[in-house]
Amino acid sequence: MVYLIMCRSLTYAQRVSNALERAGIPARVLRSPGEISPTGCSYSVKIAARNLARALTILNGTRLPYLGIYVNAAGYGYREVEL
């Protein structure tokens, strides 16, 4: 299972990815899938499920903004995670 941290721009996604990578969390920037970003204007940072709690702690400490967190449930598409 993977999580996407959706950001409003490529710049913010890169900043989120860099903060996570510095903390030892593998992260990859990609354009947000159409089903969660119909306008196609956002970018997301993909992380493994095992890293979610630590990633949120890091992001809250850095105050980097993000639009939402989505999980890819196998075969069911993406759904937003309520925090």
pLDDT for position 15: 97
Task: State both tokens at 56.
Answer: 């949120």
pLDDT for position 6: 95
Q: Show the domain range for 33.
A: 2-80
In the chain (83 residues long), the average pLDDT of successive 10-residue segments reads 93 97 97 84 94 95 92 82 83
pLDDT for position 66: 92
The amino acid occupying position 22 is R
pLDDT for position 44: 96
* Interacting residues of 42 by C-beta distance below 8 A, sequence separation 6+: 6, 7, 8, 9, 31, 32, 67
Domain containing residue 42: CATH number: 3.30.70.1530
- Three-class SS state of 15: helix
Q: Is the pTM of this model over 0.85?
A: yes
How many domains does one find in the chain? 1
- Three-class SS state of 80: strand
The amino acid occupying position 20 is L
